[in-house]
Chains A and B, each alone.
Chain A
Amino acid sequence: MFDDFFIRALVAGVGIAIVAGPLGCLVIWRRLSYFGDTLSHSALLGVTLAYSFSLNITFSVFVISAVVALLLVSLQKRTKLAGDSLLGLLAHSTLAIGLVLIGFLSYIRFDLMGLLFGDILAVTTADIGLVWIGGSIILIILYFIWKSLFSATVNYDLSAAEGMRPEFSNFIFTLLLAGVIALSIKMIGALLITGLLLIPAAIARNISNSPIQMIVIAILSGILSVVVGLFASLEINTSSGPSIIVVALILFIISLVPLEIKGQLQKR
């Protein structure tokens, strides 16, 4: 019934959704959505560099995202600009450099739309392996630094005072975020990756009342968005990234209903 490429996309997409769930929750709690955006915009630069020097795309995107993240930290210490200004500066300059480089690479046939919005046809069997192995590594590392990361999210000083070494786990978290972006760029596209991190976690926030519950719901709604989004993408021939994000948005709107009902009941 399905073509092979579709099954591949489905398997890879579900893997991405599982990893994006907990990381997305952390992005929301730490108010890092714009940071995620910056990393994913810089991913485009990673892709063009991969083509220029014939490197592995996932690897190259990961390295560039990590470099941009470190650059941000050092710029924050050296300049008097606020964090959001620096993020904007890095996001748009890396995106621009990436697009300029694409211009130079005219001898290679480029699917720009695919890079920006994701392309399920691009998912290979090797990508599936990469997503599941890379994703497992990310989740295992996350498990080990969770207590430290979570306590630092609640209160940095408290975490530092009580020996949780938050500085270290914050640094690792940045790398994990770069990792999940690298894993999902082919399917979701550079412009929309943050959506897959944020929206499932936002859905989960609406209907959960403990951190673990929020993570589980974020994973489940991420998976649902990917599966339904990919089916829609196949049926109506749209890019995979936007289709997945639109489904996630619809789920978000549905998740507002219980809140609304609760609010109405409290008014009475």
Chain B
Amino acid sequence: MNENNNLLVRLKDCGVQKSSKWIVKGISLEIHKGKIVTLIGPNGSGKTTTAKMALNILKSDEGSIENYSTKMAYVPQKISIDWTMPLRVIDFMNLTSQINKDEIIEALELTGVQHLIYNEIHNLSGGEFQRVLIARAIAKKPDLLVLDEPVQGVDFNGEIALYNLIKEICTKLNCGILLISHDLHFVMSATDHVICLNGHICCSGSPKSIVKNSSYIELFGEHNAATLSLYQHEHDHSHQTDGSVKN
């Protein structure tokens, strides 16, 4: 019973067809509260499409989707704000819900961009905008958070800090997270369930079990697979969003 109460999304044998070609097929996955599910796979393997099915943006052409989430937040992979619109960070934070200013500032502080609150969105750098996107999703306090390559364009130190933040948010809000990431280090060290996609699910399971899987090794190459299984270790310190070590 408890298991079911924590269920947010269940995809059963789902797939999306576009002009009689399957983009993804036979996708089954579950997202539970407080857990991070990661999708990995090469370009064009259907990661974003799978995420969009979980978010109810795309309808599945087969199988069934159950979605019990009451509040979803989404960090899309590619988003370009038209420069014809004078949109400030603070307006963007309030895009799909009304959030009070203190909470907005708090969320922006978490991702290290609180000083940009009154800047126009189209004056931000790629990395800064990515931080704003993550802050906006967090400020919504969702029960399901879908992040599609959330740290693209973020500097190296920031990347680590943001990943740690995502992990922290997952525990703090007890929300389910569906993450698409190319950062295999983070995937292997911090997520609960990994799904390896290439038009279909190649393999899935805990990070520990997956690195030994032959189809995983085939997809990412022996060298990478070996490095990553070695990478599993406990961190003895953590970082602030600006990269400095937390005491």
Question: Which among A154, A160, A164 is the interface contact of B81 at CB below 8 angstroms?
Answer: A154
Known: A29-B82, A29-B84. 20 other contacts (CB 8 A): A28-B84, A154-B85, A155-B79, A155-B81, A158-B76, A158-B96, A160-B56, A161-B56, A161-B72, A162-B74, A162-B96, A162-B140, A205-B86, A209-B88, A209-B120, A210-B87, A210-B88, A211-B86, A211-B91, A214-B85
- A164 and B96 within 8 A (CB): yes
Task: Compute the total of residue contacts between A and B using a CB distance below 8 Å.
Answer: 70
A205 contacts B87, CB within 8 Å? no
Q: Which of A150, A158, A208, A210 contacts B79 (CB 8 A)?
A: A158
Interchain nearest-CB distance for A164 vs B (Å): 6
Rounded to whole angstroms, the CA-CA distance of A211 and B82 in the bound complex is 12
Contacts of B96 in A (CB 8 A): 147, 151, 158-159, 162-164
A–B pairs, 24, beta carbons within 8 Å: A29-B84, A29-B85, A147-B96, A151-B95, A154-B87, A154-B95, A155-B81, A157-B57, A158-B76, A159-B95, A159-B96, A160-B57, A161-B52, A162-B74, A162-B96, A163-B96, A164-B96, A205-B86, A208-B86, A209-B120, A210-B91, A211-B87, A211-B91, A214-B86
> A31 near B: Cβ within 8 Å?
yes
**How many of chain B's residues touch chain A, expressed as a range?**
20 to 34
User: Shortest beta-carbon distance, A14 to chain B, in Å?
Assistant: 25
**Cβ of B68: which chain A residues have Cβ within 8 Å of it?**
none
Query: B73 contacts the other chain (Cβ, under 8 Å)?
Result: yes
> A162 and B72: CB pair below 8 A?
yes
Contact of A161 among B55, B85, B97 (CB under 8 A): B55
Q: Looking across the interface, which residue of chain B has its beta carbon closest to that of A30?
A: B82
- B residues sitting closer than 8 Å to A (CB atoms) are 52, 55-57, 71-74, 76, 79, 81-82, 84-88, 91-92, 95-97, 120, 140, 146
Q: Is A205 a contact partner of B57 (Cβ separation < 8 A)? A: no
A213 within 8 A of B: yes
Q: Is the interface of B mostly helix, strand, loop or mixed?
A: loop
CB-CB under 8 A from A233, the residues of chain B are none
Distance to closest chain A CB from B124 (angstroms): 14
> Which chain B positions have C-beta within 8 A of A164?
96
Whether A255 sits at the interface, judged by CB under 8 Å, is no
Contact across chains for B86 and A154 when beta carbons are under 8 A apart: no
Which of A155, A163, A210 has most chain B Cβ within 10 Å? Answer: A155
- B55, B74, B79, B95: most-surrounded residue (chain A CB, <10 A): B95
Let me know if A153 is at the binding interface, CB within 8 A: yes
